[in-house]
Amino acid sequence: MKDIYLMFMRHLKKSLRQPIWLILGLSQPILYLILYMPLLKNTGVGAASATGEIVKMFVPGMLVIMGMGALFAGFSFVDEIRQGIIARWLVTPTGRVGLILSLVLNQILTLFTQSCILLVIALFLGLNVPFMGIVLTMILILLIGVTMSSFSYAISLSVKDEGVLASITNTVYLPIMLLSGIMLPISLAPNWMKNMALFNPFYYVVEASRSLFAGDYSNMMVVKGFAIMMGFTLLAVWLAVRALNKMTA
């Protein structure tokens, strides 16, 4: 337990000394909020809606994007593997699971901070959402963070190479993002796309958070979103620990 705390503090210090990661993770969604969201007012989606409604529809997607950004957590990890830092830690009595956990916790903290900043900006842009909705959505987003960073660490441990990690990450990231209804709701899409989205776990998460933001807590989508996300989280963490064990096999 103490080891996890020690490692976590170390990761935190490193993040603070290299704030570019925090800023990068924030910049994309914020830019979308400021430079893209206003356009929605003049499209078929937003034409008839008040600004508040547009913001309520759009912000959940932005939070999910930030959560998905945790997929890039592996890059600094690969670097640490290459430098022999991970090997050094593995030879100490520190638990292996604790190592991964401390990294994931650090990612969640970063994600939480970024989300809060985003929400504050959204509030200024007219966001009006029940507090419970935000809390529950935050839980979903943090689950995404755990999942995405775990996947990233699992892949990193297998490939140990930034180039391959980048290829995999980028190949996966965009289609998932587009098929989740982040930018515009999937309800606007043609049927074939709607059907594809059903296989994308993030579609359910985005829909769930939109329901939560609308104050609709008992929607079937909310249940599905949480269930699917929790399953995914367990899978991702299991893969990460397995990858770590394989590395020393």
Instruction: Give least dist CB 35 to another protein, A.
Output: 33
Please state, in angstroms and rounded to a whole number, the distance separating the CA atoms of residues 180 and 174. Answer: 10
Under the binding rule (CB under 8 A), the answer on residue 94 touching another protein is yes
Nearer to another protein, 218 or 248 (CB): 248
- How many Å separate Cα 70 from the centre of its chain? 5
In 3-state terms, what secondary structure has residue 199?
A: coil
Does 91 interact with another protein (rule: CB under 8 A)?
yes
90 binds another protein (CB under 8 A): yes
Residue 35 binding another protein, by CB under 8 A:
no
Q: Kind and range of the H or E element at 175?
A: helix 162-178
Compute the distance between CA of residue 137 and CA of residue 208 in angstroms, rounded to an integer. 8
Instruction: Name the token pair of 201.
Output: 């776990």
Among 19, 84, 163, 190, binds another protein (CB under 8 A): 84
Specify the stretch interacting with another protein by CB under 8 A; choose among 12-20, 110-118, 193-201, 208-216. Answer: 12-20
**Residue 24 binds another protein, judged by CB under 8 A:** no
**Residue 221 φ/ψ, nearest 5 degrees:** -60, -40
Shortest distance, CB of residue 71 to another protein, whole angstroms?
22
Count of residues engaged in binding another protein, rule: CB under 8 A: 21
**In the complex, least distance from residue 13 CB atom to another protein, rounded to whole angstroms:** 7
DSSP 93: S
Please measure the distance between the N-terminal and C-terminal CA atoms of the chain and give it in whole angstroms: 25
| Cβ contact 114:66 at 8 Å | yes
Identify the residue among 50, 85, 198, 227 touching another protein (CB under 8 A).
85
112 counts as binding another protein under rule CB under 8 A: no
For residue 24, how many other CB atoms are within 10 A of its CB?
12
Q: Which is nearer to another protein, 86 or 208 (CB)?
A: 86
Rounded to a whole number of angstroms, the minimum distance from the CB of residue 80 to another protein is 8
**In whole angstroms, what is the distance from residue 79 CA to residue 160 CA?**
8
Question: 1, 17, 192, 199: which one contacts another protein (CB under 8 A)?
Answer: 17
The answer to whether 13 contacts another protein (rule: CB under 8 A) is yes
Which burial class, exposed, middle or buried, applies to 63 when counting CB atoms under 10 A from its CB (0-12, 13-18, 19+)?
A: buried
d(CA 114, CA 66): 8
Q: Tell me which stretch binds another protein (CB under 8 A): 6-14, 45-53, 131-139, 220-228.
A: 6-14
Residues lying near another protein in the complex (CB under 8 A):
3, 6, 10, 13-14, 17-18, 82-85, 87-94, 248-249
